Structure 1
């Protein structure tokens, strides 16, 4: 697509992103015929039903690994931001009401870690309702014997075995987990595995798929800007390929390509792009001996494309 069409596509991302829809953009490379594909897709929504110790550990780890975390419990002393500072949403309500409010989608991941059998059953009944979409992942905590009994009881109630068989149980990968933190890690390992298997990103796409809301907000305007996109990396570079940032005429940035001295250098190079009104590529060297002078614990290199976007 030409630059005008590209700009129009770029400005539609925010609306589609907020709706949970995916958008694929193709960025031109340095050479004729070369291109970089970047998928813009919201982080996977992880819904944790139950706010006990395992849920607290899981929330902490999952939020650091690009999950959008929603937690819910009917106990105010547990369902609060004090215990879940990393959660994107905390809902204190009955599990049935909370599940209705959340409006679970086919792309969601759901972990059932309530405080008892009665609450587990309530949650699973709501999740197995044929009138509602089956989430991409449903995991149920509990011993193998207890969970088998639970699944059999639900089948006797009339729930389809096909849906019951889609529930991951016992939850988590088998790593000999004992403590809440270890159990949280075993669950998260399984979530990452399933997320990777269900990812819409193809092998020829850049790695990062989420986007900073500040970036999405800024690119909607008609101002002249430069888009910086990480298209290659080696060593211990601070971000994945696909990291993206916009820079305005004054040198203010929206989003990030890693921060620190490296990002400052990208902003400086953007001045030349504004001046010449031409795209350019740059190789950012973050080797440890240089990075240490700036207090950065990183190394390696990043290849970054800088795209000139004319205003209107």
Structure 2
């Protein structure tokens, strides 16, 4: 089983370790156990306990060697209750932002519209029954934009019994107060009820469904990014790693200094065709990394490199205002 196959098969949260200056060992850790490794070495055997306890994206010293730990969290899922104008606008913007989107709608015509607009899953069912069948975790975001108070209350009641990162509910202040009182009467703790963002979204004086969607997703992004972020291996990148036989180099930021826009763990796959999957921030730094990756493709002696890219000396050039120092791992795939 190769690396991509292992990543696709292991559904739990995992960490990917790469030993930078030994034999380029790569391991997948889950639940403090080694689930996959590209080779067996004395280093892995000797330091297995220490390796399995590494957490958080970054560089670590293990024994005499540096190890880069890359965290792979669960896929970010957005569950939308309601397929009206606002729900469809939220769906389209959420897909643009990279969420896996599930939409629940009890009206067949509106459910069909959600399918056409690109929802990953559409459940044409009652809201409460549809929510019962949805598994969730702390990377699941719930947006309630139904057409009526009686639906909202049922949705919130079901979701509060699940794991979630965010619950937002659309409605007037009067409607929101009524639903909150109803939930308290049902026995939900006040601190639990107060985790619901109501009225939903940040205040940007939005009017159109599209503007409301912007305010909702801005709030979701704020909640998502308030916790430590992990870039991991996005689905699109894993697919691109096996999509063709052309030469490829995977580039990963392992450390950053200065004002470079992206952090450790950010990845970009450079293909022989000149195309790239993902981005490490654009601009001059990305151009430098891409050039080095393409150079590496055609040098059979270079399969694994750690390179430093520095634009701080050129910050007087206006085109380099986002300069900085990146340490980047380059691996031939």
TM-score in same-fold range (> 0.5): yes
- Mapped to 1, the partners of 2:146 and 2:7 lie a distance apart of 37
In the alignment, what sits opposite 1:307? 331
- Compare 74-83 and 31-40 and name the one that shifted more: 31-40
Residue 281 of structure 1 pairs with residue 281 of structure 2: no
Q: How far off its partner does 1:226 sit?
A: 4.8
Cα distance per residue 1:178-200 (max 9 Å; x no partner): 2212211111111011111234x
Residue in structure 2 matching 1:150, options 156, 170, 179: 179
In the alignment, what sits opposite 2:46? none
Q: TM-score, normalised to structure 2's length?
A: 0.66
- Mapped to 2, the partners of 1:138 and 1:161 lie a distance apart of 15
Q: How far off its partner does 1:105 sit?
A: 2.7
CA RMSD, Structure 1 to Structure 2 (Å): 4.2
Higher relative strand content: 2
Q: Secondary structure at the match of 2:231?
A: coil
Q: How far off its partner does 1:99 sit?
A: 1.0
Cα distance per residue 1:55-108 (max 9 Å; x no partner): 111122222222221111011111125675242222211112211222233331
- Mapped to 2, the partners of 1:253 and 1:123 lie a distance apart of 43
- Mapped to 1, the partners of 2:214 and 2:234 lie a distance apart of 25
- Quick one: structure 1 residues 274 and 40, their matched pair in 2 at CA, closer, same or farther if it must change by over 3 Å? farther
- Mapped to 2, the partners of 1:87 and 1:234 lie a distance apart of 39
Instruction: Assess if the C-alpha contact under 8 Å between 1:215 and 1:255 holds in 2.
Output: no
Q: TM-score, normalised to structure 1's length?
A: 0.70
- Mapped to 2, the partners of 1:23 and 1:117 lie a distance apart of 43
- Compare 150-159 and 135-144 and name the one that shifted more: 150-159
In the alignment, what sits opposite 1:106? 138
Q: Secondary structure at the match of 1:274?
A: coil
Aligned length: 277
In the alignment, what sits opposite 1:14? 8
For structure 1, which runs of at least 5 residues remain unmatched after alignment?
1-6, 202-206, 288-298
- Mapped to 2, the partners of 1:11 and 1:83 lie a distance apart of 29
Residue in structure 1 matching 2:294, options 268, 273, 285: 268
